[in-house]
Structure 1
Amino acid sequence: MRVALLTEGTRSVAQRSAGGWCGRLACALTEHEFQLYLLGAGGGAEYAGPPPRGLSAVHELPIWGRRPGGRRPAVHRRPAFAAAYEELVRALVTPGERGLFGPALHRLAELAGQDGTLSAFLASGQAHRILERVWRAPGSETAAGQPLVRDVLVAGDLLEQLLRPLSAPWYDAGPTGLGAADLCHVVGGGPAALPALVAKHLYGVPFVLTEHGLHLREQYRGYRTAPYRWPVRALLLAFFRLLTAETYRQAAVLTPGSGYDRQWQERCGADPARIRVVHEATAGAGRAAAGPEPERPTLVWAGALEPGRDPELMLHAFARVHADLPRARLRMYGEEAAPGYLAHCRAIAERLGIAPAVDFASRPPATADAWAAGSVVVFSALSQRSPRPLADAMLSGRAVVATDVGVAGEVLGPAGLLVPPRSPQALAAACGALLADDERRARLGLAGRLRAQERFALEPEAAAFREIYLELVSRWPAFPVGTRQPFARPAEYWMAGAAAAPAEEDPAGGAPADPLPAVPRVGPAEALAQARR
């Protein structure tokens, strides 16, 4: 079957996709044909050169940056654009109009497909006046503050960029069109889901949504420090919130990367019956285990030096371990993510009297080198959204201790030690117990490695998606109502002369009657393409 992979990225991501998640999946499922549809950062033409291994083609659409050139809609078509855009804005700012979001998206996509002038309209003064009028109308949400004129201009420009996928040249049934795909696979969510929503609306193509970390959650985190005023942030977050809800509602299957993400999807309105957890494969699942442990008992901590990773907890816990085991050492790998935080951590180590035993190292060439430098790997974060760092550490064969937050309990299970967050006593006790017991440390390290290989190797992930693809296509209607049906005319119709033969007269008198007037005449090649779909 033909699978359309839809994701965000840049040109360099497309070039590296053979080593990325999309490329690994395509190489693992060689029985299917994969085409990558990439929403890029702009500043370039269509992807050039041969597609990466595993992908039959790569198609790019710039969605960020300068608006592509083009004319505005004709005068007689502007009212239709204005009405659809007003419905979309009302859905964003009026609590009782949320249901207009999906239909407004589809209407804008239909209008964009007719003349390709959507981006020019959204950047016009008419669109800005609509946004300002609806945004300031009575009943609109203004808890973040009344929008100023500059807010209208900034928000209008950002909405134009977010809605560019509706104008993508991919909505047809040709060899490169989404209408010819058996299914779409959206990776990451957000704007990448827009082409899948349009393809489902126009052609009935089902789509799968894979999220390795929730797109909506990351948007909420990112907009806390975005360089916009609060009204603009509130409007954009409303767009992502409604887009996520519409995507969850329309997706045939949702495949979060962890049970932790599944809980968040359910809280955001996803149907639990359509959610299947598929653990993201780790690229290093096949690598060998780390070599012998260092001669001196060593704790390894790796992560960004910032408050969320809580390196302070690690330092206070190590002070207790060092008091009981003076030979112990601590290696902290990571780059400074908050200004002055490295100096802050060094000052804490000095104050606790453990500075000579603590080594603040920069990021290692490979994470496997960091894990191999220690006897025990420690994660002290206040939140753990991604299972990849934990799984990567487990694959090294080292025993792992982690705070019981996010996905930690799900990933480690019985193959590691979990402690409460912000508890130096509990973390010190777990680390000290493992450093003092060689047999237990080796047993947990081996158990963790086997658990990670079982859950986070490429083969289980590929098998899960192979089953999802086949099940989805087998139970989804291949030709939705309203689309052209294959083999709707008898074979004699396509014979030379048969098509040119006089048609039967309408019994009531008048124009000749087509025996199948609802089915347009298509050529054999197009009929064959439809049958393949």
Structure 2
Amino acid sequence: MRVALLTEGVRPHAPRGTGGWCDRLVDGLREHDFEWYVLTGAPGPAPADPRPGTREFALRGRRPAGRAPGAPRRRQYTAAYEQFVRALVRPGERDAFGPGLYRLAALARADRALPAFLVSAHARRVLERVWRSPGADTSAGQPLVRDVLVAADLLEQCLRPLSAPWYGTAPGGLGAADLCHVVGGGPAALPALVAKRLHGVPFVVTEHRPHLREQYLGHREAPHRWPVRALLLAFFRALTEETYRQAAILTPGSAHDQRWQLRCGADPARTRVVYEGTPAVGRPAAGPEPAAPTLVWAGALEPGRDPELALHAFARVRAELPAARLVVYGEEAVPGYLAHCAAVAERLGVREAVEFAGRPRSTADAWEAGGVVVFSALSQHRPGPLADAMLSGRALVATDVGVVREVVGPTGLLVPARDPRALAGACLALLRDEERRARLGPAGRLRAQERFAVEPVTGAFREIYLELVSHWPAFPAGAPGPRPRPFARPAEYWLADRGPVAADAATAAGHAAGAEAMAGGSRGGPSAGEPAVPAGALAEAVR
């Protein structure tokens, strides 16, 4: 099976053995042929040892080459772009996003002039006129001229995948693939949407972190005015909804992410949770616990991880167990936050019992430094850190937020967020009960091994691929162009030991024989003097 793997911002050129999720998927499904289509941040030097079958396309930097469209063609671009922009800024016309997007894609494939048009004065005038027209959503503020200029450039970058040289049925084109697998969503889904529209190729979407949610979180610190941010969020929201609507199967990385997708309009019947596998399941459990009762906390030092909650809870633990210690691993993600946490520990009177150990050599070393692992975050979207801690075999205490309950289940203690009394009580309960720690730690390790092993992930996608292709028509009736002829070449063409010349000769001979057979059949059978082809010989040729 030919699978087109569409990703964004990932260069699949890491040395073997150091790759991420996509590498593990490709290595686990060796019976399929994968081709990588990567949307990179900016063009860069070619790698010394590129992965075979990799095609890159830059989202930023110099726009793709192409001449501006002429006057008749420009009117078609203007109409399609206006329909597209109206779908972004007018709440009552959001259903026009898909038609406008596909019209732009068809025009871009015909003459490669889309990038030049999107940065032209004509496109900017359309954007300004529609954005400022009555009925447009301007709750974020009236756009200024500079907002129009910035937004036009950003929309050109967002729509740049429509101009990628990846479409068509020739070798290397998305139309020649059996299916597309989009990893991460967002702009990486644009080529899959176009391939489905033009060639009827189905696609699967895997989101371990929903792209739209990441956009909402990231645009709070974006260096643009609110009207520009609102317009970009409207684009990503409309793109996400269209992606979920057109995808054959959605595979979120957790039930928590699944609920987000369902809220954005995904069909529950086409959504299946496939956890993100990790090779760390084969890692041995942590060694003996430290002699002193020790809590360990690891993560980025930022308010969202809420290490202050762990410090306040530890002050209560220290009052009950004077020998207790707290080890904090991690680097500050907010300037000055490490000094702030140290000042909090000093104010609580536990500074001498708290060790700020910085970045650990590995997460396994961090979990081994304590007897109980503490997660005090205000939100937890990714199951990976929790699963990694559980694989250490240490007992775990965590705030009941996000994906925590789904991942930890009954193998750890869950407490409300922002509640130092509850967190301290759970930590004390485990630090004082060695038998309970010895029971919960291995139970959590077994749970993580069962859910986050690599083999179940590859097995799940093997079944999804086969099920999808078996239910999807190989040659959709609505696909443009002539329908392929499955038996246009004779069986001899596919023999591995025949060269190109012999194969072409066999093809020509097969076509001639087929024409003669059809002519003879129209006359009622073979002509006089021509031997009939034995059935056994035909079966032998097919074999």
State the TM-score, normalizing by the size of structure 1. 0.90
Contact 1:372 1:396 in 2 (8 A): yes
Counterpart check, 1:83 vs 2:79: yes
Aligned-pair distance for 1:442? 1.2
Identify the residue that residue 4 of structure 2 maps to in structure 1.
4
Matching of residues 77-226 of structure 1 within 5 Å? 77-226=73-222
Q: 1:341, 1:456 → 2: CA distance? A: 33
Contact 1:399 1:444 in 2 (8 A): yes
Could you tell me which of 361, 381, 390 is aligned with 2:377?
381
Identify the residue that residue 14 of structure 2 maps to in structure 1.
15
Identify the residue that residue 484 of structure 2 maps to in structure 1.
486
Q: Amino acid of the residue matched to residue 177 of structure 1?
A: G
Contact 2:181 2:206 in 1 (8 A): yes
Q: 2:465, 2:202 → 1: CA distance? A: 10
Q: 1:469, 1:489 → 2: CA distance? A: 24
CA shift digits 1:317-345 (9 cap, x unpaired): 10111111111100001111122211111
Aligned-pair distance for 1:66? 3.0
Q: Amino acid of the residue matched to residue 29 of structure 1?
A: L
Identify the residue that residue 66 of structure 1 maps to in structure 2.
62
Identify the residue that residue 33 of structure 2 maps to in structure 1.
33
Q: Amino acid of the residue matched to residue 96 of structure 1?
A: G
Counterpart check, 1:337 vs 2:333: yes
CA shift digits 1:67-87 (9 cap, x unpaired): 233321123211111111111
Q: 2:364, 2:386 → 1: CA distance? A: 12
Q: 1:237, 1:273 → 2: CA distance? A: 27
Q: 1:486, 1:132 → 2: CA distance? A: 45
Q: Amino acid of the residue matched to residue 281 of structure 1?
A: G
Could you tell me which of 395, 402, 406 is aligned with 2:398?
402
Identify the residue that residue 24 of structure 1 maps to in structure 2.
24
Q: 2:53, 2:246 → 1: CA distance? A: 26
Q: 1:200, 1:307 → 2: CA distance? A: 43
Q: Secondary structure at the match of 1:406?
A: coil
Q: 2:474, 2:515 → 1: CA distance? A: 31
Closer, same or farther: CA 494–302 of 1 in aligned 2, 3 Å: same
Could you tell me which of 434, 437, 441 is aligned with 2:437?
441
Q: Amino acid of the residue matched to residue 417 of structure 2?
A: P
Aligned-pair distance for 1:490? 7.5
Contact 2:293 2:324 in 1 (8 A): yes
Contact 1:309 1:383 in 2 (8 A): yes
Matching of residues 315-354 of structure 1 within 5 Å? 315-354=311-350
Q: 1:404, 1:10 → 2: CA distance? A: 32
Aligned-pair distance for 1:488? 7.4
Contact 1:14 1:58 in 2 (8 A): no
Contact 2:87 2:95 in 1 (8 A): yes
Identify the residue that residue 247 of structure 1 maps to in structure 2.
243
Contact 2:13 2:47 in 1 (8 A): no
Q: Secondary structure at the match of 2:281?
A: coil
- CA RMSD, 1 decimal: 2.0
Q: 1:14, 1:104 → 2: CA distance? A: 35
Aligned-pair distance for 1:177? 0.7
Gaps of 5+ in 2: 491-506, 520-543
Q: Secondary structure at the match of 2:280?
A: coil
State the TM-score, normalizing by the size of structure 2. 0.88
Q: 1:397, 1:491 → 2: CA distance? A: 59
Rg bigger for which structure? 2
Gaps of 5+ in 1: 505-533
Q: Amino acid of the residue matched to residue 125 of structure 1?
A: A
Closer, same or farther: CA 28–419 of 1 in aligned 2, 3 Å: same
Q: Amino acid of the residue matched to residue 30 of structure 2?
A: T
Counterpart check, 1:303 vs 2:303: no
CA shift digits 1:17-68 (9 cap, x unpaired): 86111111000111111111000011236x555444xxx4111000123323
Q: Secondary structure at the match of 1:224?
A: helix
Aligned length: 497
CA shift digits 1:383-419 (9 cap, x unpaired): 0000000000000111111000000000000111111
Aligned-pair distance for 1:14? 4.0
Could you tell me which of 458, 461, 478 is aligned with 1:465?
461
Which contiguous aligned blocks of 4+ residues in structure 1 show a shift greater than 3 angstroms? 13-18, 47-52, 488-501
Contact 2:13 2:49 in 1 (8 A): no
Identify the residue that residue 530 of structure 1 maps to in structure 2.
none
Aligned-pair distance for 1:295? 1.2
Contact 2:200 2:478 in 1 (8 A): no
CA shift digits 1:432-482 (9 cap, x unpaired): 111111111011110000000000010111111111111011001111114
Contact 1:281 1:457 in 2 (8 A): yes
Q: 1:114, 1:15 → 2: CA distance? A: 36
Aligned-pair distance for 1:347? 1.1
Q: Amino acid of the residue matched to residue 6 of structure 1?
A: L
